[in-house]
Amino acid sequence: MTTGVVSRNHVSHYQFISRKKKKVKARFSGVFYQIGKRVFDFTVSILMITLVLSWLIPILAILIRLDSKGPVFFVQTRIGFLGIPFRCFKLRTMVVNQDSDSKQAMYNDARITRIGYFLRITSLDELPQFLNVLIGNMSIVGPRPFMKKDDQEFSIVVSNYPLRYCAKPGITGMAQVKGYRGRTDNFQSIFHRYQWDAFYVRNARPALDFKILRITARQTIKSILSFKTIKLQQLGRLNISEPQPQFMLENLRQLSRP
């Protein structure tokens, strides 16, 4: 993983690539596709809430409350379709803290609870977002929504960033199945997420949605079954003696200024 200060030339190189694709229009405008996607989202979210969340959420809620004090749900303002903010629902994976809306979770983050590690690695903390899908401010498949602070900072360092807003944010997306999950602590991770999100917006179609869902289901099942192995690998790769990587957006913002 690349960390540390990113050079001005590196930033300029990626911004040049992004500007070259600035005139590419989103394909996410087919009426029949949009209608079919909304019907699918509504139907699946109803089934998930009725058949799965109705019994799984109470169990997870008990575990969360036993593990630490605070609410079961974490509600955060995120940026959605057409750049409109909305309230995104998650299961709480951290102790209650003042930095939850401004500081991303890091490896070995002391704020993350014991049950929180399991929920985050398996992505089960995202399950309440089926309520967002039912309401209509999210889709099952689409670019992942970022918290307001990160979204504003990403838009500074990535040209044509608003292209992501042409699609409803999703519970899962192209960037996630390609391995770009969790924190974003350097320019490459931000830019590559944007590239995959832009690819999805330009190529959105039912076949691609179902492929993303199939891969997501496989990855989720695998992460649940191999939770202990994944956690040990993370702890081994990031031992206590290793310094925590610092978030470099402040440096990137300065580098991107003329």
Q: Would you say residue 111 has pLDDT above 60?
A: yes
Q: Residue 244 has what DSSP assignment?
A: P
Q: How many domains does the chain have?
A: 1
In-domain check, residue 21:
yes
Range of the structural domain that residue 40 is part of: 8-256
In-domain check, residue 67:
yes
Whole-number Å distance between alpha carbons of 165 and 108:
32
pLDDT digits (tens, 9 = 90+) for 32-80: 999 999 999 999 999 999 999 999 999 999 999 999 999 999 999 999 9
In-domain check, residue 19:
yes
Q: Would you say residue 229 has pLDDT above 80?
A: no
pTM: 0.77
Whole-number Å distance between alpha carbons of 224 and 124:
9
In-domain check, residue 1:
no
In-domain check, residue 2:
no
Q: Would you say residue 232 has pLDDT above 80?
A: no
**What's the chain's average pLDDT?**
80
Whole-number Å distance between alpha carbons of 38 and 133:
9
In-domain check, residue 247:
yes
In-domain check, residue 3:
no
Count of CB atoms within 10 A of residue 221's CB?
Answer: 11
Whole-number Å distance between alpha carbons of 185 and 246:
7
Residue 247: band (very low, low, confident or very high) from pLDDT cuts 50, 70, 90? very low
pLDDT digits (tens, 9 = 90+) for 174-211: 999 998 877 776 778 888 899 999 999 999 999 999 99
Q: For residue 179, which of 159, 163, 193 has the smallest C-alpha distance?
A: 193
